[in-house]
Chain A
Amino acid sequence: MRSRAQSFWKVIGVAGALAALAAWPGISQAQLGLPGIPPLPGGGSSGTQTLTGQASAVTAVVLGTVTSLADSGTLVDAADPLGTGQPLGSIPGLLSAEALHAATMGWSDQVASEASLGNLSMTVAGIGITATTIISRALAVSGAAPTGLSNIEGLTIGGVSVSPTGLPNQAVSIAGLNVVLNEQVQSASGIVVNALHVTDPLGLTDVVIGAAKAGI
């Protein structure tokens, strides 16, 4: 169920960061380092539509080791939608979740990606994080601004209930943890949506719950 692809993601991460740096000069270094989904490539001008899509229920970087749960893989063709799921998922010492699911699909004029899980129980730097349901969605339609949304229900951090505003990039800092709800990174060619992005203050743990990417 669980795949480890440290080397692959390192390569992807470095390449993606460079691509993002060229595409989005305004975004921060922290955003470039999103572990969930590689950044989108810059918008093309070749006249042919390039589809990009991917979704994953969990992607965690702990001490440099990347672990993904329910990762759809990368969409390369509108004729080949991708999806995966698993009833239970866990990363020992970090988290457990149920009913994980991820899918990405393309059309000639759009890409849609979605990831979800339930009953999340996670501990980062000794701080407990729980949620009933987490869903992220990304939609890129040719000729229109890409859109994304996250559903986060029953979220607690350190035993404190946290209410999502629904707005993109809601930052929460509790007990030293940096948490972003409904994190959205947009470019001219698409969007990456991370429903819940948690990093510890020392940078040892970087977890994205519910990542969805769509670009065209």
Chain B
Amino acid sequence: MRRTIYMLFAIPLVLAGSLTSGPASAHFVPAPCDFITGGGWVIGDSAQFVNFGAHGGCKNGAFWGHVNVLDHAYNPPAHLRSTNITGYLMDPAFPNARDICGEGVVDGGAGSFTVRFRVRMEDNGEPGGSDRFGLRLDNGYDLSTRELGPPGPTGGGGNIQLHKPNPSTTGPSPAPTEAQMCGGLPTP
């Protein structure tokens, strides 16, 4: 069952992963560092619900956060639970976006396996319909970054908020490279 769940994630998207896994652009830890939070849902490529709740950032010289995602393309739904946050990055081309990288466990109910993941969250204002979310796993799964709304079969819902820095939002020094933070996983 564990293998089946893994393959459910891997097979449909391995080609997409191979087509988009070229050299990553220069993403880096924002300076000063900050936080991003959000929850909601998007419509996946199979017209399924993908629910997420996540927050991340820098905290007192380290990376911090939690990422939880459920993809209803699978039965039972496959869910990602972060176990370690290894990076928090910004993309100069999308200043309202932050990527959270880390390690986690994908569990489909009968079994589980560990993955590296990279989440993109983008805050494009209120009420949240223009905010964007995406997820990539190191097994080839790729939920490309997409808008949360408007609600309906072509959209989703929820809200993402990029928060300003505070005295605690210091990252590791020296800042690790993108490859060190994300293990070579490009932005979803």
Select which of A70, A81, A101 is within 8 A of B64 by beta carbon. A81
Q: Are B52 and A81 in touch, CB under 8 angstroms? A: no
Q: Which residues of B does A touch, CB under 8 Å?
A: 35, 37-41, 49, 51-55, 57, 59-60, 64-70, 77, 79-82, 107, 127-128, 151, 157-159, 161, 163-164, 166-168
Select which of B68, B80, B163 is within 8 A of A101 by beta carbon. B68
Select which of A80, A100, A151 is within 8 A of B168 by beta carbon. A80
Contacts of B66 in A (CB 8 A): 83-85, 101
Select which of B37, B39, B64, B166 is within 8 A of A99 by beta carbon. B39
- In the complex formed, the residue of A with least CB distance to B104 is A87
User: Inter-chain contact count A-B, CB under 8 Å?
Assistant: 132
**Mind listing 8 A-B residue pairs with CB under 8 Å?**
A87-B107, A101-B37, A101-B53, A103-B35, A105-B163, A133-B51, A135-B159, A151-B159
CA distance A103 to B56 in the complex (A): 10
Q: How large is the interface on A (under 10, 10 to 19, 20 to 34, 35 or more residues)?
A: 20 to 34
CA distance A101 to B64 in the complex (A): 14
Decide yes or no: A78 and B81 within 8 Å by CB, A116-B40, A151-B128 being known contacts: no
CB-defined interface of A81-94 with B at 8 Å, one 1/0 digit per residue? 10111111000000
CA distance A119 to B77 in the complex (A): 12
Smallest beta-carbon distance A211→chain B, Å: 14
Q: Are A133 and B39 in touch, CB under 8 angstroms? A: yes
- In the complex formed, the residue of A with least CB distance to B149 is A153
CA distance A105 to B151 in the complex (A): 29
CA distance A24 to B161 in the complex (A): 30
The answer to the question of A35 belonging to the interface, with a C-beta cut-off of 8 Å to chain B, is no
CB-defined interface of A103-115 with B at 8 Å, one 1/0 digit per residue? 1011110001010
Q: Are A99 and B51 in touch, CB under 8 angstroms? A: yes
The answer to the question of A118 belonging to the interface, with a C-beta cut-off of 8 Å to chain B, is yes
Q: Are A154 and B151 in touch, CB under 8 angstroms? A: yes
Contacts of A80 in B (CB 8 A): 59-60, 168
Instruction: Determine the main DSSP class of B at the interface with A.
Output: strand
Decide yes or no: A133 and B161 within 8 Å by CB, A83-B66, A87-B69, A154-B151 being known contacts: no
Given contacts A99-B51, A107-B167, 19 further A-B contacts (CB under 8 A): A78-B168, A81-B59, A81-B168, A84-B66, A85-B53, A85-B68, A87-B70, A87-B80, A88-B70, A99-B68, A101-B53, A118-B52, A118-B158, A119-B51, A133-B41, A137-B159, A137-B161, A151-B158, A153-B151
The answer to the question of A30 belonging to the interface, with a C-beta cut-off of 8 Å to chain B, is no
Sort A-B residue pairs by CB-CB distance and give the 4 closest, nearest first. Answer: A116-B39, A101-B53, A118-B51, A87-B79
Smallest beta-carbon distance B88→chain A, Å: 13
Select which of B68, B157, B164 is within 8 A of A133 by beta carbon. B157
CA distance A79 to B39 in the complex (A): 24
The answer to the question of A117 belonging to the interface, with a C-beta cut-off of 8 Å to chain B, is yes
CA distance A108 to B130 in the complex (A): 30
The answer to the question of A169 belonging to the interface, with a C-beta cut-off of 8 Å to chain B, is no
The answer to the question of A98 belonging to the interface, with a C-beta cut-off of 8 Å to chain B, is yes
Q: Are B35 and A105 in touch, CB under 8 angstroms? A: yes
